[in-house]
Structure 1
Amino acid sequence: MEKMNVESFNLDHTKVAAPYVRLAGTKKGSFGDEVYKYDLRFTQPNKEFMKMPALHSIEHLMAENIRNHSDQIVDISPMGCQTGFYLSLINHDDYDEVLSILEKTLEDVVVATEVPACNEVQCGWAASHSLEGAKELAKNMLSKKAEWRQVYAKEA
């Protein structure tokens, strides 16, 4: 297969085993700063996906709450395939701490009582949210925390 410019397009999605958290790439800036991009895969590619209202709500909840656990967050963005998120951090290469930040953030989601910025002023599609769906996604991801380090399916 031809090498593509987009890192995830070079990932064999038939060989991964979600959920997982993997370093997807790094970029070094001209002033020495480094951005670390993580693939936070919630569901198995081409087998499952997150329904849009739940995905939208967990995105809002994680985007707001993750910044309470680290000041090195650049962005957390949903994947178009609805199977996960990309998390970008600046000058932060401690994988174990990234896992801890994610765990704390998902725990925040589980106890949330509302979706932040879930209104027409602050959100581009405020009608498409599900707090309960977001909580279920977070609970499922947390229940499989032991699997987060295992990116590829074990060979039989």
Structure 2
Amino acid sequence: MAEVESFQLDHTKVLAPYVRLIGAETGPKGDIITNFDVRLVQPNEQEIPTGGLHTIEHLMASLIRDRIDGLIDFSPFGCRTGFHMIMWGDHDSETIAKVIKSSLEAIATEIEWSDVPGTTIESCGNYRDHSLWTAKEWCNLILERGISSDAFVRKVV
């Protein structure tokens, strides 16, 4: 089987919350795609409940696009500790960490239920599994710890 980078990462050595550049790839036409590990909680110590994680996912899909161009995808890890963030172009962890921080701040302080996209049976594959209250609580906890631009050394943005 092919090796997957995230399965080679020693999850006992990282210090969440952080943004980590997993890698950048150049396509056959010269396009660059960057992949980030956006880890919001400490692996194997915490996990965000699915309703809150689902709501964070839906909100971040819009909030990130409001703050930076080139987002391809923002998908949750199955372990519920964070997200993969895939971007067009060459981006650095510090820039992405600032975007994540700003987006989490918006969820924590500005967002109301009517702002959450994709919460109907027509627009979501599991529309009943959302919790803005849980999303806000976790965003506040994450922001209290600070978002680092380094996975191994706390460099809070």
Q: Please report the TM-score for the alignment, with normalisation by the length of structure 1.
A: 0.89
User: Is 1:23 aligned to 2:21, yes or no?
Assistant: yes
Q: CA deviation at 1:15?
A: 1.5
Q: Which stretch has the larger CA shift, 133-142 or 28-37?
A: 133-142
Q: Which stretch has the larger CA shift, 84-93 or 119-128?
A: 84-93
* Runs of 4+ residues deviating >4 angstroms: none
Cα RMSD (Å): 1.8
Q: CA deviation at 1:153?
A: 6.8
- Structure 2 matches for 1:77-96, cutoff 5 A? 77-96=75-94
**CA deviation map 1:43-93 (0-9, x unaligned):** 111111110000001000111211111121111000001110011111132
- Aligned residue for 2:61, secondary structure, equals helix
Q: Which residue of 2 aligns with 1:149?
A: 149
Q: CA deviation at 1:4?
A: 5.5
Identity %: 38
Q: Is the 8 A contact 1:7 1:25 kept in 2?
A: no
Residue correspondences, number: 151
Q: Is the 8 A contact 1:65 1:105 kept in 2?
A: yes
Q: Please report the TM-score for the alignment, with normalisation by the length of structure 2.
A: 0.88
Name structure 1 gaps, 5 residues minimum: none
Name structure 2 gaps, 5 residues minimum: none
Q: Which residue of 2 aligns with 1:69?
A: 67
Q: Which residue of 2 aligns with 1:118?
A: 119
